Amino acid sequence: MAFWESNHVLCNTGGLNEIPVSSLPSTVEHLSLTKNNFPLIRSDAFNGLRNLRKLSLDGNNISTIKPFAFRGLPRLRELSIQHTPLTTVAQFAFAGLQNITAILLGHNKIHKVEGYAFAGTSNVRLLLLNSNPLHKVETSAFSGLTNVEHLILPAGIKSIEPDAFSGLDSVGLIKLSFMDLTALKTHTFRGLSHVHVLAIQESDLGVIQAGAFEGMTHVNSLNLLNNKIDSVQELHLRPESRVKVLRMQGNHLLETPLPGAIELDGVEILNIQSNHFPCDCHIHNLIEGPLANGSAAEFSAKNFCISPLQYNGQTISSVNINTIGRCSEGITRDNWDAPSTAVLKKFSIHIFLITLWLFR
């Protein structure tokens, strides 16, 4: 059914199999084509509708969006494509959009965003990809996208490829939450620049690999909140990263970072609290390291032990760490809980002598 009023055209549940652009007035500002049956949005699909400000394509049978599908819409402010079977955001599908308030792509079947899908698009207040089965963020997925206030990715991401955010510039907030990663890979954030807040939260991050945050620049605040972290191979924040604020709160680390694994050059504000660390022989290096920021007492009072079991849930300050021996240079995590070779040899000799005595 179509409804026309002034500069508004509503054609919802009309059974359309294609976009009737030639039948629309060039003066239309608000176009709603929801719950129709067209599966394809062609390149330049809305060519000629230069006054269009709001476009809703929700609930359609859209499976393919061709490159530059929305080219030629200089006044478009809101674009909504939600509740469709769309699985892939193809290269250049949303390229060239300018000064758009919102691109709403929630509640689809998107499992892949190809490289340069948003190339040349700028001045976006909200890019929303929530409630999609996007398990893998491809290399250069957001390359060429600039001046975005909020980029919200869906829950359930299982892999972020190196350089996934390369070429993404000037973002207010990037929110990555409820991920299930085996690793935060080397060069995950390389090429990302001018971000006010990069928030990684409520996720299983696996291993933070060496160089995961290498190559990003002008990231004002890095927030690591309420994550499970198997280990930190390296967390080096270089001066060129321009990270002014590091917030690590509520994280559970299954291994204590080794000496030298964390370097925080140029960070002005450290907020490290309510994290859980193993209270083993590495605890001494932890409270003397950069995360404590020169105040072992304050750090110990605000963070907790995750292991061993008798210390679980206790503040580090409540544990007499003087009773915990320091790791010797030869101790690694592989042999920390294992008896030394000398002890094993002595134990074997004792068993051998007892056996001889019993059977003499």
**Mean pLDDT of the chain, nearest integer:** 89
- First CA to last CA across the chain, in angstroms? 102
The answer to whether 125 touches 149, Cβ cutoff 8 Å, is: yes
> Are the beta carbons of 107 and 57 closer than 8 angstroms?
no
> What number is the average pLDDT over the span 225-229?
98
Q: What pairing do the DSSP bridges indicate for beta strands 8-11 and 2-5? A: antiparallel
d(CA 325, CA 328): 9
Q: What is the pLDDT of residues 79-102, one digit of tens each?
A: 999 999 999 999 999 999 988 999
Q: Tens digits of per-residue pLDDT, 243-292?
A: 999 999 999 999 999 999 999 999 999 999 999 999 999 999 999 999 99
Residues 169-199 pLDDT 10s: 999 999 999 999 999 999 999 999 999 999 9
Instruction: Give the number of other Cβ atoms within 10 Å of residue 95's Cβ.
Output: 19
Cβ distance 163 to 189 under 8 Å? Answer: no
Of residues 20 and 360, more confidence is placed in 20
Share of the chain above pLDDT 70, in %: 89
Residue 211: pLDDT above 90?
Answer: yes
CA distance 123 to 75: 12
Cα separations (Å) of 206 from 98, 116, 202, 251, 333? 37, 28, 12, 12, 17
Instruction: State yes or no: pLDDT of 332 exceeds 70.
Output: no
Task: Evaluate if residue 4 carries a pLDDT over 80.
Answer: no
Let me know how long the chain is. Answer: 360
Of 11-15, 75-79, 326-330, the one with minimum mean pLDDT is 326-330
> Can you tell me which residue has the tokens 């001066």?
239
pLDDT surpasses 90 at 327: no
pLDDT at 1 over 60: no
In whole angstroms, how far apart are CA 38 and each of 18, 34, 65, 185, 355? 5, 10, 11, 39, 84
**pLDDT score, position 53:** 96
Residues 48-81, buried b or exposed e (16+ Cβ, 10 A)?
ebebbbbbbbbbbebeebebbbbbebeebbbbbb
pLDDT reported for residue 309: 92
Q: What is the pLDDT of residue 104?
A: 97
Q: How confident is the model at residue 40 (pLDDT cuts 50, 70, 90)?
A: very high
State how far the Cα of 201 lies from the Cα of 175, in Å rounded to an integer.
8
**Could you tell me the CA-to-CA distances from 156 to 129, 136, 143, 178, 225 in Å, in that order?**
12, 9, 22, 6, 16
Q: Which of 32, 119, 112 is nearest to 79 (CA)?
A: 32
Of the pLDDT bands very low, low, confident and very high (cuts 50, 70, 90), residue 348 is: very low
Q: What is the C-alpha separation between 196 and 243, in angstroms, rounded?
A: 9
CA–CA separation, 197 and 175 (whole Å): 8
- Confidence at residue 316, expressed as pLDDT on a 0 to 100 scale: 96
5 pLDDT tier (thresholds 50, 70, 90): low
Above pLDDT 90, what percent of the chain? Answer: 80
Report d(CA 298, CA 101) in Å as an integer: 44
d(CA 343, CA 281): 19
Map residue 241 onto helix, strand or coil.
Answer: helix
Instruction: Give the integer Cα–Cα distance in Å for 97 and 78.
Output: 11
Q: What is the pLDDT of residue 7?
A: 83
Residue 338 pLDDT class (50, 70, 90 cuts): very low
> Which parts of 58-182 are beta strand (E)?
64-65, 78-80, 88-89, 102-104, 112-113, 122-128, 136-137, 146-152, 159-160, 169-177
pTM for this prediction:
0.84
